Amino acid sequence: MTTELIARLLDADAAYQQAMSPHYDDVLREVSQRIDERGSIGKLDIAALTTWKRLRADTRWVAALLRLPEADVRGITTTTCTAANNRDVSASAAAGDARGSLSPLPGFARGDALASAVCAAAAPARLAVYDDRAHTALTRLGIPLDNRPGRYRRYIDIIDSLRTQLLEAGHTWPARRVDTALYQLGGR
């Protein structure tokens, strides 16, 4: 299965690279740089990632988030940044801790799409973005990922396993490249 799995990921990656602009992740890269400089994530960063993820911003959670003082948001997300970049634990443990730290913020109690984008922006070399298309791709590849709490932690564990398999086949991919290949594969 590993050879077939690698071939499918390589094909999906090539299709993604052809279909997407090389500038698509500019927002993610810029937000990631801002987070690296500040050590926390602000409301402007979350708003930019919301747009980048193409999520609706006319929701109750956005209004509730905007009512919070910036200092409160940054206080919570400083913990997120520290957890996401904790090299003393596995990437999946760091992902789970970072994801969990976001739960007190409006819009982050459930669901992993935006939360994973925030976590990945906090640790871009290590963490990946989760979405329904990536989940669909995993199902198509025969890799189980259920929706129980802790899904993002388990997703990053899968991403790391795929990265290891790719590395063994001679392909050094960051986590983001694996998730974009899954995104492409899940949309076919």
Task: Say if CB 153 and CB 96 are below 8 A apart.
Answer: yes
89-127: pLDDT as tens digits: 999 999 999 999 999 999 999 999 999 999 999 999 899
Instruction: Give, in degrees to the nearest 5, the angle at Cα 88 between 84 and 97.
Output: 35
Q: Which token pair is 75?
A: 């206080």
127-149: pLDDT as tens digits: 999 999 999 999 999 999 999 99
**Which residues have C-beta within 8 Å of that of residue 47, sequence separation ≥ 6?**
57
Task: Kindly list the domain boundaries of the chain, sorted by start residue.
Answer: 2-21+129-187, 26-122
Q: Looking at residues 156-169, what average pLDDT do you find?
A: 96
Q: How confident is the model at residue 12 (pLDDT cuts 50, 70, 90)?
A: very high
33-76: pLDDT as tens digits: 999 999 999 999 999 999 898 777 778 988 999 999 999 999 99
Q: Give the pLDDT of residue 188.
A: 63
- Plot region of 150 (φ>0 → left; ψ -120 to 50 → alpha; else → beta): left
Confidence (pTM): 0.91
Task: Say if CB 3 and CB 95 are below 8 A apart.
Answer: no
How many of the other CB atoms lie within 10 Å of CB of 123?
Answer: 24
**DSSP secondary structure of 2-35:** HHHHHHHHHHHHHHHHHHS-TTTTHHHHHHHHHH
